[in-house]
Chain A
Amino acid sequence: MKQQVYIDNNATTQVAPEVTEAILPYFTDHWGNPSSMHNFGGSVKRALDSAREQVAALIGAEHPNEIIFTSCGSESDNMAIRGAVDAMGGHPHLITTRVEHAAVLGPCHYLEDKGFRLTTLDVDEKGNLDLDVVREKSMCGKKTIASIMWANNETGVIFPIPKIAELIKEGGGVFHTDAVQIAGKLPISVKDLPVDMLSISGHKLHAPKGIGALYVKRGTKVTPHIMGGHQERGRRAGTENVPYIVGLGKACEIARERMEKDVAHEAKLRDRLEAGILATCKGAHVNGDTSHRLPNTTNISFEFVEGEAILLMMDDQGICASTGSACASGSLEPSHVLRAMDVPRTSLHGSVRFSLSRYNTEADVDVVLEKLPAIISRLRELSPFAND
């Protein structure tokens, strides 16, 4: 089997070996119920507490009990939005953006169908929000719940969340941010910000799939969506997924300790990959604002070729990446993020997202730079528009 070059880390990441190692004893030895009265369960409870502290430390939460463990980032997003709406009562005004993850757009559109007013903010061609519009919409005089992502999963573009949170709070609203892509990749500190709720996901930061967390700032009201147990202080019932919670804690600890090193490593590889592709592939350009971007992500459009075809040809060479092309998803519509940015139709169908992690190497970048130009020119030869 040829070597696998995995550059799709915004989709999911490899579980860190240290994380696997930390998890295993909670399957084999410490399998007690943290709610039990006996010491066998009690030791497990202490592991939960320490994981909560590790997660809190990564995102700069003041109190560990502001962290609620969930099953994934999507659950965290759903819980934040629907839980805040339930707790607020009446018909609050919802604010979100066109480029959110489906886990935010889904519940927002559901609530809109139920009669709630929803404002979906536009972005410009670089993927940035207009803060004046955010201010204006947050001052609508009605109770507001806003959910705006910190970093975009497709382009890596970072929204100025400290400023946005401030604007929403000035308008008297509740503010949630989906931080699934930024957590573990760049330093964040919620205790210094007027952020009420924040979602993270385990498998985007080298913990397993099936674990996430929602930060809920003290004093923020959220109605639980899973009821019938005292776990997570009554905010999410159900016996805790102890091994994965321990894994998430460990992954957060590693991310925090290594952050500076990882950021430098990923940014260096990403920049070399990006520059190399732009230099060797004609008609390639980067989507999204490169000055406010995650260090590991680049989203590149190749004019007059189609993303699924690029992806399958790369896959043939052992290279794993993602595309915003319609054909790859089965939805028929190309990426809602790129459409919101008005990416020209010549490029809309040919976008590829490369997203790196600490485990990528210079050799990985070499493989892409060696194989990709031939793939693009091969597909251009096939295309009836290439000479236009």
Chain B
Amino acid sequence: MWEYTDKVTDHFKNPRNVGAVEEPDGDGLAGSLACGDALRLTFKLDAEKKICEAKFQTFGCASAIASSSALTEMLIGKTVEEAEEITNADIIAYLGELPKQKVHCSVMGREALEAALYNYRTGKKLDRKIDGEVICHCFGATDKEIEKITREQKLTTAEEVTNACKAGGGCGQCIPEIEVIINKVIGEEKAKEEDAKPKLTQLQKIKLIEETIDRQVRPILRRDNGDLELHDVDGDRVLVKFVGACVSCPVSSVTLKDVVETQLQEAVSPEITVEAV
């Protein structure tokens, strides 16, 4: 037995805006009979280009019906631009909560909205032709679809992907492939974050190196009565001079790489190399 919130139960038992709008401005379908759930969304705009009427027809379980009903309520009164901003997370938030295995019901709402908006803009039906290579044969999900949902919803496990779009929820054979896609997306997103970091000027870089040495390197060396001084910075080359116990220490070259260089690479830039003078 699923634990549904009162709001989900209410929207399931008393769905709002059931049916199809006559002469709609937008008309979109998501899902299919074979998948076990499908949603047709239609809407109409008023003179001010705001959605004045939105209706749904849904084949699916209680949470699919509730998600559809919630979506129509959220749409009414919004402009097309505002409607475009509605995500599946907004649908879930509107309903309070959905069991995690039912998150895909809210995704279907978002997909039907996309299809209806596409229809409004182009007058055409959104033809969901297979884009990419089919990874999950049970639910016909392609690598591109899995990648898109993983990126958009910041998913980190195959289980989360299954909850979001069903992929991997059948025979489970494609789960390793889904994990490869997740790892790829996580890697790319991380790289993007790195790129987004502002480039340091040489002066800022030197300052950051000094701070890092003070804060993270010296305390470690001082535990063994050693220390170092920053000698010079030449591009990404950092030249340091060991002092105290470090001078005669047989493993100071290891310390140089494992402690000093690692700390500076993490804090300042992966390109940093450290040399002793």
Residues of A bordering B, CB below 8 Å:
304-309, 312-313, 316, 325-328, 330-334, 345-346, 348-349, 381-385
Contacts and interface: CB of A to CB of B under 8 A. Distances in A.
Interface in B159-205: 162, 166, 169-170
Given A306-B37, A332-B139, A382-B57, 6 more contacts: A305-B59, A306-B60, A333-B138, A349-B37, A384-B40, A385-B59
Given A333-B170, A346-B33, A381-B18, A316 B13 contact: yes
Interface of B: 12-13, 15, 18-19, 29, 33-34, 36-40, 57-65, 99, 101-102, 138-139, 162, 166, 169-170
A237 B99 CA distance: 41
A175 to B, nearest CB: 29
A331 B38 contact: no
Main secondary structure of the interface of B (DSSP, over half): mixed
A309 B62 contact: yes
A330 B61 CA distance: 11
Contact of A382 (B36, B58, B169, B170): B58
Given A349-B36, A384-B40, A385-B33, A309 B170 contact: no
A332 B140 CA distance: 13
Contacts, number: 76
Contacts of B38: 384-385
B218 to A, nearest CB: 55
Contact of A333 (B12, B13, B33, B169): B169
A385 B57 CA distance: 9
Contacts of A313: 13
Contact of A308 (B13, B19, B57, B62): B62
Contacts of B13: 313, 316
A325 B57 CA distance: 19
Shortest 6 CB-CB contacts between residues of A and residues of B: A332-B169, A327-B61, A384-B57, A308-B61, A384-B40, A383-B59
B33 A309 contact: no
Contacts of B99: 330
Contacts of A312: 12, 62
A349 B59 CA distance: 10
A326 B37 CA distance: 10
A267 B162 CA distance: 42
Contacts of B58: 382-384
